[in-house]
Amino acid sequence: MESDEKKVMNALGGKKGILDSGLPSLVFLIAYNVTHGLKDAAIAAVITSAFLTVIRLAKKDTLQHVLSGFVGVAFCAFLARKTGQAADFYLPGLIINVVYAFAYGILNLVGLPLLGLLLGPILGENLAWRKVPARKQAYIRAGWLWVALFVLRLLVQYPLYKSGNVNALGTARLVMGYPLFLLAAWGSWIVIRNVPTAKITDASE
């Protein structure tokens, strides 16, 4: 049986999700430095993502992760080619960080933590955690870790994007991708596991 820890990690993207989003970005950065051509770098990133997609389909992995990864990379490559600015390959990622920062932050403030909505059904408590103050607060505390992650990424990466420094931006994207994601996911699990899951009752939603 899959452990709760693994369920949480997979729900937040998991190692496969990180690979699908991180490897094409790395390939784009390397190809851009080697060829000094935006078109070649964009094609290399899309081909890498397509290759990963084929592997995922062959292994019958979750289509959500498979398709979202490929579509995301393809759009980034299209945007960069359309504007002629290599830094724009990373622009959608910045926008996503803004959206997630607001989503996690606002839902935390209104007492409806996004982590609870995402993980409740997976951990077998659905929305019963809303009636258990300690469990609800655990989801809120863990949610602030993600807000901090997204805000930190923006504070570092947006100035690099504005300066057009593709190498620094691409490197920051990689460094603040894998390590910080794993740190936030692990931190979330540590916070959540210390409070027992809520029991579903007939009155629970």
pLDDT at 180 over 60: yes
The pLDDT value recorded for residue 9 is 66
**Degrees to nearest 5, angle at CA 93 with 105 and 59:** 105
163-172: string of b/e by CB count within 10 Å (b at 16+)? eeebebbbeb
Q: Higher confidence at residue 22 or residue 99?
A: 99
Number of neighbours of residue 3 by Cβ within 10 angstroms: 8
> Closest Cα partner for 174 from 27, 10, 71?
27
Pairwise CA distance, residues 76 & 126, whole Å: 35
User: Six-digit token pair at 99?
Assistant: 């959206």
Q: Residues 171-195: what's their mean pLDDT? A: 88
The pLDDT value recorded for residue 148 is 96
The pLDDT value recorded for residue 170 is 92
The pLDDT value recorded for residue 4 is 66
Name the strand (E) or helix (H) holding 120.
none
The pLDDT value recorded for residue 3 is 67
Pairwise CA distance, residues 158 & 189, whole Å: 29
Pairwise CA distance, residues 35 & 41, whole Å: 8
Q: Which residue has the tokens 């960069």?
A: 80
**132-169: per-residue pLDDT in tens?**
999 999 999 999 999 999 999 999 999 999 999 999 99
The pLDDT value recorded for residue 24 is 85
Name the DSSP class of 202: T
The pLDDT value recorded for residue 198 is 80
**37-86: per-residue pLDDT in tens?**
899 999 999 998 888 888 877 877 666 666 777 888 899 999 999 999 99
The pLDDT value recorded for residue 167 is 93
